[in-house]
């Protein structure tokens, strides 16, 4: 369990940190439950192993015991529920203004990233992987759409995934805390070329972002296709 949990990526966004904390809370509680339950099972196997033909003392109906094993899981689930709600509210909080607004459209079989208020847009294809370029430390508000069937926007290192549903707008914020290139993938089977629906998020400094945006906007104004 601990080795598998080691595969959880560290979050690269502010929002993802809340999810990361939640993952850890689930892991710690699950670890305690695992140790207690398997400890008791092993203890029973040894303590009540067959030594003669006599059965050990049999107990039928014990209200205190039944109440205990009903209450403990109920309390655990309630605690996890409250912490999950808190983390979810933090991840989905959109009270502040966004610095960059991007409309991400999923289609069979790639992605289109349009930068609101500018002419810049990035359109991918199965042969050319699109890159969503964003500035570090700024709030990126993504409006997620689908042009045809249900897709899913997933960047593992943000610990966040959202479906792109035809006729529905899904809004979410991503605030990247460090620069780098992060892999993204459609995670909803959407047709034969579903595995080609990869994309990348390139997080750059504010200055690099401004010059990239200016170049893309010029390209758009000149009627040339986006990169
Ligand atoms: Cu897809």
Q: How far away, in angstroms, is 57 Cα from ligand 1 center?
A: 59
Domain membership of residue 141 as a residue range: 100-221
On whether residue 164 sits in a domain, the answer given is yes
Q: How far away, in angstroms, is 164 Cα from ligand 1 center?
A: 9
Q: How far away, in angstroms, is 162 Cα from ligand 1 center?
A: 12
Q: Tokens 């192993």 label which residue? A: 49
Q: How far away, in angstroms, is 109 Cα from ligand 1 center?
A: 6
Q: Tell me, yes or no, whether 72 and 142 share the same domain.
A: no
On whether residue 56 sits in a domain, the answer given is no
Q: How far away, in angstroms, is 52 Cα from ligand 1 center?
A: 63
Q: How far away, in angstroms, is 158 Cα from ligand 1 center?
A: 19
Q: Tell me, yes or no, whether 33 and 107 share the same domain.
A: no
Q: Using CA atoms, how far apart are residues 49 and 212, in angstroms rounded to an integer? A: 72
Angle 146-162-174 from CA coordinates, rounded to 5°:
110
Q: How far away, in angstroms, is 196 Cα from ligand 1 center?
A: 8
Count the domains in the chain. Answer: 2
DSSP 14-44: HHHHHHHHHHHHHHHHHHHHHHHHHHHHHHH
Q: Tell me, yes or no, whether 105 and 181 share the same domain.
A: yes
Element (H, E) at 119: none
Q: How far away, in angstroms, is 124 Cα from ligand 1 center?
A: 13
CATH of the domain at 190: 2.60.40.420
On whether residue 66 sits in a domain, the answer given is yes
pLDDT of residue 169: 95
Q: Which segments within 35-138 are labelled E, that is strand?
A: 100-107, 110-115, 121-123, 131-135
CATH of the domain at 65: 1.10.287.90
pLDDT of residue 96: 86
Q: Tell me, yes or no, whether 176 and 68 share the same domain.
A: no
Q: How far away, in angstroms, is 154 Cα from ligand 1 center?
A: 10
On whether residue 209 sits in a domain, the answer given is yes
Q: Tell me, yes or no, whether 76 and 183 share the same domain.
A: no
Q: Tell me, yes or no, whether 133 and 192 share the same domain.
A: yes
Q: Tell me, yes or no, whether 166 and 207 share the same domain.
A: yes
Q: Tell me, yes or no, whether 86 and 160 share the same domain.
A: no
Q: Using CA atoms, how far apart are residues 190 and 126, in angstroms rounded to an integer? A: 14
Q: Tell me, yes or no, whether 108 and 43 share the same domain.
A: no
Q: How far away, in angstroms, is 146 Cα from ligand 1 center?
A: 9
Pick the closest to residue 2 from 20, 25, 28 (CA basis): 28
Q: How far away, in angstroms, is 171 Cα from ligand 1 center?
A: 18
Q: Using CA atoms, how far apart are residues 154 and 140, in angstroms rounded to an integer? A: 15
On whether residue 54 sits in a domain, the answer given is no
pLDDT of residue 1: 67
Q: How far away, in angstroms, is 193 Cα from ligand 1 center?
A: 8
Q: How far away, in angstroms, is 197 Cα from ligand 1 center?
A: 6
Q: How far away, in angstroms, is 147 Cα from ligand 1 center?
A: 10
On whether residue 227 sits in a domain, the answer given is no
Q: Tell me, yes or no, whether 109 and 208 share the same domain.
A: yes
- Per residue of the chain (227 residues), what is the pLDDT tens digit? 667 767 777 899 999 999 999 999 998 999 999 999 999 999 999 998 888 888 888 888 899 999 999 999 999 999 999 999 999 999 999 888 899 999 999 999 999 999 998 888 999 998 999 999 999 999 999 999 999 999 999 999 999 999 999 999 999 999 999 999 999 999 999 999 999 999 999 999 999 999 999 998 888 777 665 55
Q: Tell me, yes or no, whether 110 and 6 share the same domain.
A: no
Q: How far is CA 55 from the centre of its chain?
A: 51
Partners of residue 95 on adjacent β-strands = none
Q: How far away, in angstroms, is 148 Cα from ligand 1 center?
A: 9
Q: Counting beta carbons within 10 angstroms of the beta carbon of residue 23, is it exposed (0 to 12), middle (13 to 18) or buried (19 or more)?
A: middle
pLDDT of residue 133: 96
């Amino acid at each position: 369990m601990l080795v598998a949990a080691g595969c959880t990526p560290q979050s690269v966004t502010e929002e993802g940190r809340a999810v990361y904390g939640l993952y850890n809370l689930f892991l710690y509680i699950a670890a305690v439950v695992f140790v207690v339950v398997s400890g008791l099972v092993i203890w029973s196997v040894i303590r009540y192993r067959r030594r003669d033909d006599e059965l050990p003392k049999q107990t039928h109906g014990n209200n205190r015991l039944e109440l205990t094993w009903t209450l403990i899981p109920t309390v655990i689930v309630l605690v996890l529920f409250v912490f999950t709600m808190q983390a979810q509210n933090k991840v989905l909080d959109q009270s502040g203004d966004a610095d960059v607004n991007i409309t991400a459209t999923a289609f069979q079989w790639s992605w289109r990233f349009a930068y609101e208020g500018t002419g810049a847009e990035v359109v991918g294809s199965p042969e050319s992987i699109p890159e969503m370029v964003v500035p570090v430390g700024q709030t990126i508000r993504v409006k997620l759409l689908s042009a045809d069937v249900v897709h899913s926007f997933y960047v593992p290192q943000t610990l966040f995934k959202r479906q792109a549903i035809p006729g529905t707008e899904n809004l979410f914020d991503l605030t990247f805390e460090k620069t780098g290139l992060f892999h993204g993938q459609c995670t909803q089977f959407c047709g034969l070329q579903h595995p080609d629906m990869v994309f990348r998020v390139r997080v750059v400094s504010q200055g690099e972002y401004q010059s990239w945006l200016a170049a893309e906007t010029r390209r758009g104004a000149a009627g040339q296709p986006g990169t």
